[in-house]
Chains A and B, each alone.
Chain A
Amino acid sequence: MLALIRRDPLLGSPAAILRVLVALLLGTSVAEGVRTFAATATEGAMPGHFANRVYVAAALWLAPAILLLLSKTRERCRAMDLALPIEARRLWLAHTQTIWLLGLVLLAAGAGVLWGYEKIVFAIPGKIPVPDQNLELVVIPLAISLVLAVAALQSFRPGLQQVPADRSYRAVVLLMLGGGLGLGIALSKLPWFASLLPLVFAIGLTARTYHSLPPTFATSPREAESTSEPVRTAGTQEWETHAETGSGKSHSALYY
Protein backbone atom coordinates (compact mmCIF):
# COMPACT_ATOMS: atom_id res chain seq x y z
CA MET A 1 0.00 0.00 0.00
CA LEU A 2 2.84 2.34 0.86
CA ALA A 3 4.40 1.68 -2.50
CA LEU A 4 1.13 2.55 -4.19
CA ILE A 5 0.82 5.74 -2.20
CA ARG A 6 4.27 6.77 -3.24
CA ARG A 7 3.23 6.32 -6.84
CA ASP A 8 0.01 8.24 -6.51
CA PRO A 9 -0.66 10.90 -9.15
CA LEU A 10 -0.90 13.54 -6.43
CA LEU A 11 2.64 12.86 -5.35
CA GLY A 12 3.82 13.02 -8.92
CA SER A 13 6.82 15.21 -8.64
CA PRO A 14 8.66 16.21 -5.47
CA ALA A 15 9.33 19.73 -6.69
CA ALA A 16 5.70 20.28 -7.55
CA ILE A 17 4.57 19.01 -4.18
CA LEU A 18 6.90 21.34 -2.40
CA ARG A 19 5.71 24.27 -4.41
CA VAL A 20 2.08 23.43 -3.80
CA LEU A 21 2.68 22.98 -0.07
CA VAL A 22 4.45 26.30 0.24
CA ALA A 23 1.76 28.04 -1.77
CA LEU A 24 -0.99 26.55 0.33
CA LEU A 25 0.68 27.47 3.58
CA LEU A 26 1.22 30.99 2.35
CA GLY A 27 -2.47 31.02 1.66
CA THR A 28 -3.20 30.02 5.22
CA SER A 29 -0.91 32.75 6.38
CA VAL A 30 -2.72 35.31 4.31
CA ALA A 31 -6.07 34.05 5.57
CA GLU A 32 -4.84 34.43 9.08
CA GLY A 33 -3.66 37.92 8.35
CA VAL A 34 -7.06 38.82 6.97
CA ARG A 35 -8.78 37.34 9.96
CA THR A 36 -6.59 39.31 12.31
CA PHE A 37 -7.28 42.47 10.42
CA ALA A 38 -11.00 41.83 10.47
CA ALA A 39 -10.89 41.17 14.19
CA THR A 40 -8.94 44.31 15.01
CA ALA A 41 -11.07 46.42 12.70
CA THR A 42 -13.85 46.15 15.24
CA GLU A 43 -11.71 48.31 17.43
CA GLY A 44 -10.39 45.79 19.83
CA ALA A 45 -13.82 44.52 20.70
CA MET A 46 -13.80 40.87 21.65
CA PRO A 47 -15.81 39.05 19.08
CA GLY A 48 -17.79 36.19 20.49
CA HIS A 49 -16.43 32.72 20.70
CA PHE A 50 -18.48 31.62 17.77
CA ALA A 51 -17.33 34.23 15.32
CA ASN A 52 -13.75 33.74 16.28
CA ARG A 53 -14.00 30.02 15.72
CA VAL A 54 -15.45 30.47 12.27
CA TYR A 55 -12.52 32.58 11.19
CA VAL A 56 -9.99 30.18 12.61
CA ALA A 57 -11.68 27.22 11.01
CA ALA A 58 -11.90 28.99 7.67
CA ALA A 59 -8.23 29.89 7.77
CA LEU A 60 -7.32 26.32 8.57
CA TRP A 61 -9.68 24.86 5.99
CA LEU A 62 -8.28 26.91 3.14
CA ALA A 63 -5.26 24.76 2.34
CA PRO A 64 -7.01 21.34 2.41
CA ALA A 65 -9.85 22.85 0.40
CA ILE A 66 -7.50 23.88 -2.36
CA LEU A 67 -6.03 20.39 -2.28
CA LEU A 68 -9.44 18.95 -2.97
CA LEU A 69 -9.87 21.28 -5.88
CA LEU A 70 -6.72 20.09 -7.63
CA SER A 71 -7.24 18.03 -10.73
CA LYS A 72 -4.83 15.38 -9.59
CA THR A 73 -7.23 14.63 -6.78
CA ARG A 74 -9.79 13.53 -9.35
CA GLU A 75 -7.29 11.12 -10.80
CA ARG A 76 -7.46 7.89 -8.88
CA CYS A 77 -4.61 6.20 -10.61
CA ARG A 78 -2.25 6.90 -13.44
CA ALA A 79 -3.29 6.09 -16.96
CA MET A 80 -0.49 3.55 -17.05
CA ASP A 81 -1.98 1.66 -14.13
CA LEU A 82 -5.04 0.71 -16.12
CA ALA A 83 -3.05 -1.84 -18.04
CA LEU A 84 -1.44 -3.33 -14.96
CA PRO A 85 -2.72 -6.30 -12.97
CA ILE A 86 -3.49 -4.32 -9.83
CA GLU A 87 -6.92 -4.41 -8.29
CA ALA A 88 -8.79 -1.17 -8.68
CA ARG A 89 -9.77 -1.15 -5.04
CA ARG A 90 -6.17 -1.15 -3.88
CA LEU A 91 -5.43 1.79 -6.13
CA TRP A 92 -8.55 3.55 -4.94
CA LEU A 93 -7.72 3.07 -1.30
CA ALA A 94 -4.15 4.18 -1.82
CA HIS A 95 -5.37 7.34 -3.48
CA THR A 96 -7.90 8.06 -0.74
CA GLN A 97 -5.22 7.54 1.86
CA THR A 98 -2.88 9.85 -0.01
CA ILE A 99 -5.44 12.63 0.03
CA TRP A 100 -6.11 12.04 3.73
CA LEU A 101 -2.41 12.15 4.43
CA LEU A 102 -1.80 15.31 2.47
CA GLY A 103 -4.92 16.96 3.81
CA LEU A 104 -4.06 16.22 7.42
CA VAL A 105 -0.49 17.36 6.90
CA LEU A 106 -1.79 20.62 5.48
CA LEU A 107 -4.20 21.01 8.37
CA ALA A 108 -1.45 20.38 10.88
CA ALA A 109 0.93 22.72 9.08
CA GLY A 110 -1.79 25.37 8.94
CA ALA A 111 -2.39 24.97 12.64
CA GLY A 112 1.34 25.38 13.10
CA VAL A 113 1.23 28.64 11.16
CA LEU A 114 -1.67 29.94 13.25
CA TRP A 115 0.01 28.83 16.42
CA GLY A 116 3.11 30.68 15.28
CA TYR A 117 1.03 33.80 14.80
CA GLU A 118 -0.36 33.40 18.28
CA LYS A 119 2.98 33.01 19.89
CA ILE A 120 4.91 35.56 17.87
CA VAL A 121 2.73 38.17 16.21
CA PHE A 122 0.14 38.52 18.89
CA ALA A 123 2.77 38.48 21.59
CA ILE A 124 4.26 41.71 20.27
CA PRO A 125 3.72 44.29 22.90
CA GLY A 126 1.55 47.26 22.03
CA LYS A 127 -0.72 45.16 20.89
CA ILE A 128 -3.21 43.54 18.72
CA PRO A 129 -5.95 42.58 21.05
CA VAL A 130 -7.03 39.39 19.42
CA PRO A 131 -8.76 36.81 21.49
CA ASP A 132 -7.64 33.27 22.05
CA GLN A 133 -7.88 31.16 18.93
CA ASN A 134 -8.84 27.96 20.68
CA LEU A 135 -6.92 26.08 18.04
CA GLU A 136 -7.14 22.78 19.83
CA LEU A 137 -10.91 22.91 19.84
CA VAL A 138 -11.08 23.44 16.12
CA VAL A 139 -8.33 21.34 14.61
CA ILE A 140 -9.55 17.87 15.55
CA PRO A 141 -13.14 18.37 14.38
CA LEU A 142 -11.87 19.86 11.15
CA ALA A 143 -9.58 16.89 10.68
CA ILE A 144 -12.49 14.51 11.07
CA SER A 145 -14.60 16.58 8.71
CA LEU A 146 -11.82 16.42 6.21
CA VAL A 147 -11.62 12.65 6.45
CA LEU A 148 -15.35 12.43 5.86
CA ALA A 149 -15.32 14.96 3.01
CA VAL A 150 -12.55 13.10 1.23
CA ALA A 151 -14.25 9.74 1.70
CA ALA A 152 -17.47 11.17 0.29
CA LEU A 153 -15.72 12.79 -2.63
CA GLN A 154 -13.85 9.62 -3.50
CA SER A 155 -17.07 7.68 -3.29
CA PHE A 156 -18.52 9.76 -6.08
CA ARG A 157 -18.38 7.61 -9.23
CA PRO A 158 -15.66 5.48 -7.69
CA GLY A 159 -15.27 3.18 -10.68
CA LEU A 160 -13.69 5.82 -12.89
CA GLN A 161 -9.97 6.23 -13.27
CA GLN A 162 -10.44 9.97 -13.50
CA VAL A 163 -13.65 11.73 -12.59
CA PRO A 164 -14.58 14.26 -15.25
CA ALA A 165 -14.92 17.79 -13.91
CA ASP A 166 -18.50 18.19 -15.01
CA ARG A 167 -21.31 19.99 -13.27
CA SER A 168 -22.25 17.17 -10.94
CA TYR A 169 -18.70 16.72 -9.75
CA ARG A 170 -18.23 20.41 -9.19
CA ALA A 171 -21.45 20.49 -7.20
CA VAL A 172 -20.29 17.62 -5.01
CA VAL A 173 -16.93 19.29 -4.41
CA LEU A 174 -18.56 22.56 -3.35
CA LEU A 175 -20.92 20.66 -1.11
CA MET A 176 -18.05 18.84 0.54
CA LEU A 177 -16.03 21.99 0.98
CA GLY A 178 -18.87 24.02 2.44
CA GLY A 179 -20.36 21.14 4.33
CA GLY A 180 -16.99 20.03 5.68
CA LEU A 181 -16.26 23.44 7.05
CA GLY A 182 -19.72 23.74 8.53
CA LEU A 183 -19.49 20.33 10.11
CA GLY A 184 -16.10 21.11 11.58
CA ILE A 185 -17.34 24.31 13.13
CA ALA A 186 -20.45 22.62 14.49
CA LEU A 187 -18.46 19.74 15.95
CA SER A 188 -16.10 22.14 17.67
CA LYS A 189 -18.99 23.37 19.74
CA LEU A 190 -20.11 19.90 20.78
CA PRO A 191 -18.50 17.55 23.30
CA TRP A 192 -15.64 15.48 21.94
CA PHE A 193 -17.49 12.22 21.52
CA ALA A 194 -19.84 13.84 19.03
CA SER A 195 -16.94 13.85 16.58
CA LEU A 196 -16.77 10.09 16.70
CA LEU A 197 -19.99 9.75 14.77
CA PRO A 198 -18.81 11.33 11.53
CA LEU A 199 -15.52 9.47 11.88
CA VAL A 200 -17.25 6.14 12.09
CA PHE A 201 -19.47 7.14 9.21
CA ALA A 202 -16.40 8.05 7.14
CA ILE A 203 -14.80 4.69 7.82
CA GLY A 204 -18.01 2.90 7.00
CA LEU A 205 -18.41 4.79 3.75
CA THR A 206 -14.83 4.06 2.76
CA ALA A 207 -15.22 0.36 3.47
CA ARG A 208 -18.44 0.20 1.53
CA THR A 209 -17.03 1.91 -1.53
CA TYR A 210 -13.91 -0.21 -1.33
CA HIS A 211 -15.89 -3.40 -1.52
CA SER A 212 -18.19 -2.16 -4.21
CA LEU A 213 -15.43 -1.49 -6.70
CA PRO A 214 -15.05 -3.77 -9.74
CA PRO A 215 -11.64 -5.37 -10.31
CA THR A 216 -10.70 -2.69 -12.78
CA PHE A 217 -11.29 1.00 -13.31
CA ALA A 218 -13.01 2.36 -16.36
CA THR A 219 -11.84 5.28 -18.43
CA SER A 220 -14.46 7.96 -18.26
CA PRO A 221 -16.30 8.19 -21.58
CA ARG A 222 -15.56 11.88 -21.97
CA GLU A 223 -11.87 11.05 -21.56
CA ALA A 224 -11.98 8.39 -24.20
CA GLU A 225 -13.71 10.74 -26.59
CA SER A 226 -11.28 13.55 -26.11
CA THR A 227 -8.17 11.44 -26.59
CA SER A 228 -9.12 10.45 -30.11
CA GLU A 229 -7.56 12.88 -32.52
CA PRO A 230 -9.65 15.27 -34.55
CA VAL A 231 -11.17 13.45 -37.47
CA ARG A 232 -9.06 13.85 -40.57
CA THR A 233 -10.29 12.88 -43.94
CA ALA A 234 -8.92 9.82 -45.65
CA GLY A 235 -7.52 12.11 -48.31
CA THR A 236 -5.11 13.66 -45.85
CA GLN A 237 -4.29 10.19 -44.66
CA GLU A 238 -3.30 9.09 -48.11
CA TRP A 239 -1.11 12.09 -48.61
CA GLU A 240 0.60 11.51 -45.33
CA THR A 241 1.24 7.86 -45.90
CA HIS A 242 2.66 8.54 -49.31
CA ALA A 243 4.79 11.36 -48.02
CA GLU A 244 6.13 9.06 -45.31
CA THR A 245 7.29 6.32 -47.56
CA GLY A 246 7.86 8.28 -50.70
CA SER A 247 5.18 7.19 -53.16
CA GLY A 248 4.27 4.18 -51.12
CA LYS A 249 7.29 2.08 -51.90
CA SER A 250 9.58 0.89 -49.19
CA HIS A 251 12.17 -1.80 -49.54
CA SER A 252 13.96 -4.17 -47.27
CA ALA A 253 16.99 -5.93 -48.55
CA LEU A 254 18.91 -8.79 -47.08
CA TYR A 255 22.26 -9.75 -48.44
CA TYR A 256 22.62 -13.40 -47.95
Chain B
Amino acid sequence: MQFHVNPSGELPIYRQIMRQITDAIAGGRVAAGDQLPSHRDLAAQLVIAPLTVKKAYDELEREGLITTQRGRGTYVSESLPVVDAAQRRERLREAAQQLLTQAALSGVPLAEVVRLLKEIQKGMKS
Protein backbone atom coordinates (compact mmCIF):
# COMPACT_ATOMS: atom_id res chain seq x y z
CA MET B 1 0.00 0.00 0.00
CA GLN B 2 1.01 3.55 -0.57
CA PHE B 3 1.82 5.73 2.43
CA HIS B 4 1.61 9.47 2.24
CA VAL B 5 2.30 11.95 5.04
CA ASN B 6 1.81 15.68 5.32
CA PRO B 7 3.57 17.12 8.38
CA SER B 8 1.44 20.25 8.31
CA GLY B 9 -1.79 18.45 7.58
CA GLU B 10 -5.03 18.52 9.51
CA LEU B 11 -4.17 15.49 11.56
CA PRO B 12 -1.03 14.72 13.53
CA ILE B 13 1.26 12.46 11.56
CA TYR B 14 0.56 9.34 13.60
CA ARG B 15 -3.14 9.73 12.98
CA GLN B 16 -2.56 10.13 9.27
CA ILE B 17 -0.74 6.81 9.23
CA MET B 18 -3.44 5.19 11.31
CA ARG B 19 -6.13 6.47 9.02
CA GLN B 20 -4.35 5.29 5.91
CA ILE B 21 -3.95 1.81 7.30
CA THR B 22 -7.54 1.75 8.50
CA ASP B 23 -8.77 2.99 5.13
CA ALA B 24 -6.69 0.42 3.31
CA ILE B 25 -8.13 -2.35 5.44
CA ALA B 26 -11.65 -1.05 4.97
CA GLY B 27 -11.19 -0.64 1.26
CA GLY B 28 -9.76 -4.10 0.90
CA ARG B 29 -6.44 -2.86 -0.40
CA VAL B 30 -4.65 -4.84 2.26
CA ALA B 31 -5.90 -8.16 3.36
CA ALA B 32 -5.83 -9.85 6.72
CA GLY B 33 -2.41 -11.37 7.29
CA ASP B 34 -0.57 -8.97 4.95
CA GLN B 35 2.70 -7.66 6.24
CA LEU B 36 3.26 -3.99 6.97
CA PRO B 37 6.70 -2.34 6.93
CA SER B 38 8.55 -2.27 10.24
CA HIS B 39 8.22 0.99 12.07
CA ARG B 40 11.86 1.78 11.49
CA ASP B 41 11.61 1.14 7.76
CA LEU B 42 8.51 3.24 7.43
CA ALA B 43 10.13 6.03 9.44
CA ALA B 44 13.21 6.02 7.24
CA GLN B 45 11.20 6.02 4.06
CA LEU B 46 8.69 8.68 5.04
CA VAL B 47 11.40 10.70 6.80
CA ILE B 48 9.58 10.97 10.09
CA ALA B 49 10.53 10.03 13.61
CA PRO B 50 10.39 6.30 14.34
CA LEU B 51 8.57 6.97 17.57
CA THR B 52 5.73 8.52 15.60
CA VAL B 53 5.26 5.43 13.49
CA LYS B 54 5.52 3.28 16.58
CA LYS B 55 2.79 5.33 18.19
CA ALA B 56 0.53 4.75 15.21
CA TYR B 57 1.25 1.03 15.21
CA ASP B 58 0.73 0.79 18.97
CA GLU B 59 -2.66 2.46 18.72
CA LEU B 60 -3.77 0.22 15.89
CA GLU B 61 -2.58 -2.78 17.80
CA ARG B 62 -4.58 -1.67 20.78
CA GLU B 63 -7.64 -1.47 18.58
CA GLY B 64 -6.88 -4.96 17.37
CA LEU B 65 -6.39 -4.02 13.74
CA ILE B 66 -2.76 -5.10 13.51
CA THR B 67 -0.44 -7.35 15.45
CA THR B 68 3.29 -7.16 15.95
CA GLN B 69 5.30 -10.24 16.62
CA ARG B 70 8.79 -9.83 17.97
CA GLY B 71 11.33 -10.81 15.35
CA ARG B 72 8.72 -11.54 12.73
CA GLY B 73 7.16 -8.21 11.86
CA THR B 74 3.92 -6.36 11.80
CA TYR B 75 0.86 -7.84 10.15
CA VAL B 76 -2.74 -6.95 9.59
CA SER B 77 -4.82 -8.95 12.05
CA GLU B 78 -6.32 -12.18 10.85
CA SER B 79 -9.55 -11.47 12.57
CA LEU B 80 -10.61 -7.88 12.69
CA PRO B 81 -12.14 -6.72 15.94
CA VAL B 82 -15.83 -6.59 16.46
CA VAL B 83 -16.74 -3.12 17.49
CA ASP B 84 -19.75 -2.82 19.66
CA ALA B 85 -22.72 -2.15 17.38
CA ALA B 86 -23.99 0.78 19.42
CA GLN B 87 -20.52 2.35 19.46
CA ARG B 88 -20.31 1.96 15.73
CA ARG B 89 -23.63 3.68 15.20
CA GLU B 90 -22.61 6.49 17.53
CA ARG B 91 -19.38 7.09 15.64
CA LEU B 92 -21.19 7.07 12.34
CA ARG B 93 -23.79 9.45 13.70
CA GLU B 94 -21.11 11.91 14.80
CA ALA B 95 -19.36 11.73 11.46
CA ALA B 96 -22.67 12.22 9.66
CA GLN B 97 -23.49 15.20 11.87
CA GLN B 98 -20.22 16.86 10.97
CA LEU B 99 -20.69 16.17 7.31
CA LEU B 100 -24.23 17.54 7.20
CA THR B 101 -23.27 20.64 9.21
CA GLN B 102 -20.53 21.38 6.73
CA ALA B 103 -22.92 20.86 3.88
CA ALA B 104 -25.50 23.16 5.43
CA LEU B 105 -22.96 25.92 6.04
CA SER B 106 -21.72 25.63 2.48
CA GLY B 107 -25.20 25.56 1.05
CA VAL B 108 -24.90 22.09 -0.46
CA PRO B 109 -28.23 20.26 -0.81
CA LEU B 110 -28.75 16.75 0.55
CA ALA B 111 -28.96 15.18 -2.89
CA GLU B 112 -25.55 16.51 -3.70
CA VAL B 113 -24.18 15.08 -0.45
CA VAL B 114 -25.56 11.64 -1.23
CA ARG B 115 -24.00 11.77 -4.70
CA LEU B 116 -20.71 12.66 -3.14
CA LEU B 117 -20.93 9.74 -0.74
CA LYS B 118 -21.52 7.29 -3.55
CA GLU B 119 -18.61 8.73 -5.48
CA ILE B 120 -16.27 8.28 -2.55
CA GLN B 121 -17.39 4.75 -1.92
CA LYS B 122 -16.65 3.86 -5.49
CA GLY B 123 -13.19 5.32 -5.05
CA MET B 124 -12.60 3.24 -1.93
CA LYS B 125 -13.43 0.00 -3.63
CA SER B 126 -10.98 0.49 -6.50
Contact = CB atoms under 8 A, between A and B. Distances in A.
Interface in A221-256: 245, 248-256
A170 B3 CA distance: 62
Contacts of A250: 6-8
A251 B2 contact: no
**Size category of the binding interface on chain B:** 10 to 19
A254 B46 CA distance: 7
B97 to A, nearest CB: 28
Nearest to B44: A254
B2 A252 contact: no
Contacts of A256: 1-3, 37
A249 B2 contact: no
Contacts of A252: 3-5, 45-48
A253 B3 contact: yes
B64 to A, nearest CB: 22
Contacts of B1: 256
Interface in B4-57: 4-9, 37, 42, 45-48
Interface in A176-226: none
Contacts of B2: 253-256
Interface of A: 245, 248-256
Interface of B: 1-9, 37, 42, 45-48
Given A250-B6, A252-B47, A254-B42, 15 more contacts: A249-B6, A249-B8, A250-B8, A251-B4, A251-B6, A252-B4, A252-B5, A252-B46, A253-B3, A253-B4, A254-B2, A254-B45, A254-B46, A256-B2, A256-B3
8 contacts: A245-B8, A250-B7, A251-B6, A252-B4, A252-B45, A252-B48, A253-B4, A254-B4
